[in-house]
Structure 1
Amino acid sequence: MIEAAMIWNEPNNKSHWDPEIDPDWSSFADHVIRAGNSIAAINPAITRVLGGMSPIDPHWVNRMRAHGALDAVDVIAVHGFPLDWNLWSIHDWPKKIAEIEAVTDKPIWVTEVGVGSFGAEEVQVFGVEKTAELLIGRVPNIYWYSLYDLPQSWGATTRHREAEGSSYYRHFYMGLIREDGTPKPSLDVYARHAADMGLMQWFHFEDPRLDEAVGWLKRLGTRKLRTGLSWADRFRPNALDWFDRQMEALADFEVTVTFCFTPEHLGVQPHHTSPARDPQMFADFCAEMIDRYAPAQASSGKATPLKLVASA
């Protein structure tokens, strides 16, 4: 069920990792090395993915190499939103991939690519079609962000605020399905490419959309899904019950699961973007999740199907 484990999300974006605490990303690299080694120790068949960079930056990749982090991962991931936040054209996707290929021999996955419908739903229709044209066959894995619009009442996890024009509000219009559950025109366009382009969907803790989302994914013919298991959520009451429910619901898909979000009480600063005071605790969380949802078979070294155990 679990194809890959992604170590953090957009670590070179200050919405997800605090560069004031860790300006050279040496602490982040320590997190990656420990987590990558811990994942491999539990199941060496799991593909380890360096959390998708945003912006796409070959210099940051070189920095990660200098810190030794690339030795602990199998894939380099990138994120791009050229019609919403990035200062480059959607037509530059092949060029942006080539920039990272020039500094690493590891495979490149596009683990988030999106175009919002904030300005016009027709723009999103164009974005899905052009993304498919430019990236299918160019990289091994592509994940469209996202299935659902983010509900306005939930708020966006971002450094952008209302003072920055439309930047903040665009976060709420990235889905193929509106907040009220009705499909946008782009959903039909995506469906034509669903066998070759996966979906990225964050599920919030005890997300009420989970079962409906699974239904949509199956009707669309989506095979690959990227989602997350939050380290911070691990400390909520009944966390393992929710994780079990989420992962069981997604058992029919090839899942890339993202491990991220520092629990406030374990951070250098009390914030989800903070490095952990003890990075090994993050690595232990990653190992726990792989052992629970993708343990290795001792005889073959291959991942077993999902096997849930009683919650602690």
Structure 2
Amino acid sequence: MIEAVMLWNEPNNKSHWDPEVDPEWVRFGEMARAAGLAIRAENPTLTRVLGGISPIDPLFIGRMAAAGVLDAVDAVAVHGFPLDWNLWQIHEWPEKIAEIRAVTDLPVWVSEVGVSTFGAEEVQLWGLARTAELLVGRAPRIHWYSLYDLPREWEATTRHREAEGSSYYRHFHMGLLRQDGTPKLAMEEFAKHTPALGLCQWFHYQDHRLDAAVDWMKRLGVTHLRTGLSWADSFRPDALAWFDRQMEALVDFQVTVTFCFTPEHRGIAPHHSSAPVDFREYADFCAAMVRRYAPGGAGPA
């Protein structure tokens, strides 16, 4: 079921890693390297992926190579949203992947790519078709973000929130499904590109959408899913019961599971984006999750 584990999410984006706490990514490098080695010790066949970077920055990948992180992973990943947030055009996707391939021999995954319907659903429809045209065959994994819109009563994971203006509100319109579960225009187009296109869908603690999401993914022909198990959530009541339910529900998919989010009480700063007080605790969490959900030689051949 689990084909890969991803070490953090967008480590070069301050929404997910605080550069004031760790301005040179020294602590991140120690943490990621320790986690990669701990995962390999639990299951040597499991693919380890460095958390998808946003922005796409070859200098950051070079920094990770110098820190020894790339020696402890089997692939790197990038995120791109050129119709919503990036300062480059959608047609530049091949060049962006080439920039990363120029600085590492590791496979380059696209673990998040998407288009919001903030302005119009027709934009997402066109953007999905163009994205598939540009990326299918150029990356070993492509995860479309996302299946569901983010519920409006929730918060997007960003340090800026409403200060971003319209950029913040685009976070809430990235789904192929609206919040109420009804499909948007791009849904039929997406189904034309599975299984080459997978999905990225984050499930929050006790997420009410889990079972419906599984039904939709099966109907759409999705085989590859990227989701997450939150280190911070592991301290909630009945956390393991929720993790078990989530992973059991996803048993029919090839899952890339992302380990992310610092527990506030274990961070140098009390925030999920902070470097932890002890990076070995993150490595221990990763090892424990692999031991529970992908033990031994349970990874892909």
TM-score, normalisation: structure 1 = 0.95
Aligned-pair distance for 1:162? Answer: 2.4
Partner of 1:17: 17
- The reply to whether residue 215 of structure 1 matches residue 215 of structure 2 is yes
Matched, 1:102 2:102: yes
1:84-106 Cα deviation digits (max 9, x unpaired): 00000000000000000000000
Tell whether the 8 Å contact from 2:114 to 2:174 is kept in structure 1 after alignment. Answer: yes
1:182 aligns with 2:182: yes
Counterpart residue identity of residue 144, structure 1: W
| Counterpart secondary structure, 1:129 | helix
Deviations 1:179-227 (A, max 9, x none): 1111001111101112101000000000000000000000000000000
Q: Which runs of 5+ in 2 are unaligned?
A: none
Secondary structure (helix, strand or coil) at the match of 1:175 reads: coil
1:261, 1:163 → 2: CA distance? Answer: 22
Q: Aligned partners of 1:112, 1:68: CA distance in 2, in Å? A: 24
For 1:310, the equivalent position in structure 2 comes to: none
The residue that corresponds to 1:303 in the other structure is 299
Partner residue in 2 for 1:165: 165
2:148 aligned with 1:148? yes
Q: CA-to-partner distance for each residue in 1:44-98, whole Å, 9 max, x for gaps?
A: 1110000000000000000111111111100010000000000000000000000
Residue 160 of structure 1 and its aligned partner are, at CA, apart by 3.1
Note the aligned Cα RMSD (angstroms). Answer: 0.9
1:58 is the counterpart of 2:58: yes
In the alignment, the residues of structure 2 paired with residue 63 and residue 168 of structure 1 have an alpha-carbon distance, to the nearest angstrom, of 29
Asked if 2 retains the 8 angstrom alpha-carbon contact of 1:199 and 1:226, the reply is yes
Letter in 1 for 2:222: T
Q: TM-score, normalised to structure 2's length?
A: 0.98
Q: What does 1:186-201 align with in structure 2 at a 5 Å threshold? A: 186-201=186-201
Counterpart-to-counterpart distance in 1, 2:102 and 2:134: 19
1:74–1:107 Cα contact (<8 Å) kept? yes
Trace 1:1-312 onto structure 2 (pairs within 5 A). Answer: 1-296=1-296, 301-303=297-299
Compare relative contact order (CA 8 Å, sep 6+) and give the higher one, 1 or 2: 2
Give the Cα–Cα distance (whole angstroms) in 2 for the partners of residues 264 and 122 of structure 1: 40
- Report the residue type matching 2:299 in the other structure: A
Given that 1:17 and 1:274 are in contact with CA atoms closer than 8 Å, whether structure 2 keeps it comes out as yes
The one-letter amino acid of 2:128's match is V
The alignment covers a number of residue pairs equal to 300
**Aligned partners of 2:275, 2:219: CA distance in 1, in Å?**
40
- Corresponding residue SS for 2:116: coil
3-state SS of paired residue (2:61): helix
2:112 and 2:211 map into 1 onto residues whose CA distance is: 22
Q: 1:302 offset after TM fit, Å?
A: 4.3
- Amino acid across the alignment from 2:140: P
Q: For 2:236 and 2:162, how far apart are their aligned partners in 1?
A: 30
**Partner of 1:308 in structure 2?**
none
SS in 1 for 2:77: strand
Q: What is the CA deviation profile of residues 89-143 of structure 1, one whole-angstrom value per residue up to 9, with x for unaligned ones?
A: 0000000000000000000000000100001100000111001000000111000
Deviation of 1:286 after TM superposition, in Å, equals 0.3
Quick one: percent identity of the two aligned structures? Answer: 68
**Cα distance in 2 for residues equivalent to 1:165 and 1:14:** 17
The Cα offsets for residues 256-297 of structure 1, whole Å up to 9 and x where unpaired, read as: 00000000111111110001101110000000000000001x
- Note if contact 1:160-1:167 (Cα within 8 Å) is conserved in structure 2: no
